[in-house]
Each structure stands twice: as C-alpha cells, then as structure tokens.
Amino acid sequence: MRGILKTARTLVLTGLVLTAPARAEPVTVLALGDSLTQGYGLPTEAGFVPRLEAWLAAQGTDVTVINGGVSGDTTAGGAARLGWSLTDEVDAVIVALGGNDILRGIPASVAQANLAAILDQIAARALPVLLVGQRATANFGAAYQQEFDAIYPALAAQYDTALFPDFLEGLNSLPDRETVVAGYLQADGLHPNAEGVRLVVAAMGPAVLELITRTSAR
C-alpha cells in the first residue's frame, strides 16, 4: 500500500512540474535613439531608459533595456553606428530617431532612407522592432511637417513593424501646452524633465511591453 501511495505521489508531483507554466526567458532590448532616449539633462536614474526598464519590471517582465541614445544623433548617425550596437545579446530593438533631422530641416526623403537602412540591418538579424515616431514642427512649413510625419507609418507598413506614433505622446496628448512647458519640460523647452519622462514612459510602456511579449513568444 505504501508503495502504491508513493508512486501516486510521484506521478502527481511529476504532473505538476510538467503542467507548470515555464518562466519567460530574460529579454534584452536595445533603445536606439537620440537625446530623448539618452536622458539629456537628467540624473541617470531619471532618464528614459532606466525609467522604462523599471516600468517594465513592475509589469512582471525580466528585461534589460540598453541605452543606445546619443545626444544630437540623426537618422544617419543611427544607421552608421547600429552595426556595433547590435550585439549578440540584443533580442529586440526600439528605433526612436528623427528629432534632430527635424530640427535641422533634413529632407524627409533622406531621413526615411536612413531609417530604412536601420530597419534593413535589424531585419537581417530577424529581430522584432518597435518604431517610434517623431512629430515634426511647422518651422519648415506645413508641407515639410506632413511629409515628415508620414515617414513612420509608411515604414512600419513596409517593414511590418510595430509603431508608436510619437515619442512625446505622453506630453503632446495633454490639452494645455503651457502646462506642459511649465511642468514637464526642461528649460530648453525640448527635453522632458523627470516628471515629463514619467508621462512619456507611461504612454509608451504598453507598446514596449507588447514588443517584449512578441519577442518572448518567438
């Protein structure tokens, strides 16, 4: 009788082990971007990448986000340095470039070609991508603004990547621009302060979480 009970207990425990959900493997995400990604003007822990990683960890993910942000970088700069940024440990990529192209008035067609070169390199590694858009200002006219804003959805469709339309969606979605400038931006009026980064991460976080979910399911 004891032998029968012992065998039954072994079978039950074995069944529990076999049916228990497997823990997801750790995921490493490269955040390729400019000063917005890099955390310009902020203590390291208050920047976009550390805050995003903390937000994702709070959702129960085992993730490392690599800070691939370079202040002042353009889409051309990102395309040039991506090769050495895509190390073997990288499982997925956030591409968040274009803001400095806008500030410099770089033609939308040039920026689009550079972003396509970036996406080509990532596609060659078969890595999931979240493409993050940058909203153009009207400084160079309405036509330029419309042409630049159209880059990101066009590329997302062409490369079948996920798209988050606006890096600063968490701020730009607020109804009062004066409140944004006074409460959520640094003195330069361009970069979010620590509280602004919190809103940026809260808005973008679910899209990055979906990227990680898709990566883990591969």
Residues classed as catalytic: 35, 188, 191
CA 173 to CA 49: how far, in whole Å? Answer: 21
The CA distance from 142 to 135, in Å, is: 12
Reduced to 3 states, what is the DSSP secondary structure of residue 190? Answer: coil
| Cβ neighbourhood burial of 1 (10 Å; 0-12, 13-18, 19+) | exposed
Rounded CA gap, 150 and 134, in Å? 10
Which residue do the tokens 């808005």 mark? 203
What residues does 162 pair with on adjacent strands?
130
Q: Helix crossing, 151-159 with 108-124: angle to 10°? A: 30
User: ∠ CA 127-114-83 to the nearest 5 degrees?
Assistant: 50
